[in-house]
Amino acid sequence: MDRVALRGLKARGHHGVFPREREEGQTFIVDLVLGLDTRPAAADDDLAKTVHYGIVAEEVVAVVQGEPVNLIETLAERIAQVCLKHEGVQQVEVCVHKPDAPITVPFDDVTVTITRSRV
């Protein structure tokens, strides 16, 4: 399976279990790896035969900016489902970064990574 990756998509969301997270919001960063067969697109040099990663990026940002959820696990799942709606995408790996998580000790990042496939 071929892969198309989008790294470092940034959007402000209001996800989290604490009132401050819901009220103030914070930046989330999303990395995606889309699994698909790129041979038909490459053979015909045709965008219609692959995934339009610009549209995927816009949809993912809309999910992050959209309805708040408590857990980044839930956010990752919603993002995965949006990606799998694109024809040709057979698998997706989603990594959601929450670099401003409310943790009381020094840290660099918190991430949740999931992999989902078409059934």
The residues annotated with a catalytic role in the active site are 98
- How far is Cα 53 from Cα 4, in angstroms, rounded to an integer? 8
C-beta neighbour count of 7 within 10 angstroms: 10
- How far, in Å, CA of 64 to CA of 28, rounded? 7
> What are the phi and psi torsion angles at 34 (to 5°)?
-100, 130
CA distance 58 to 46: 21
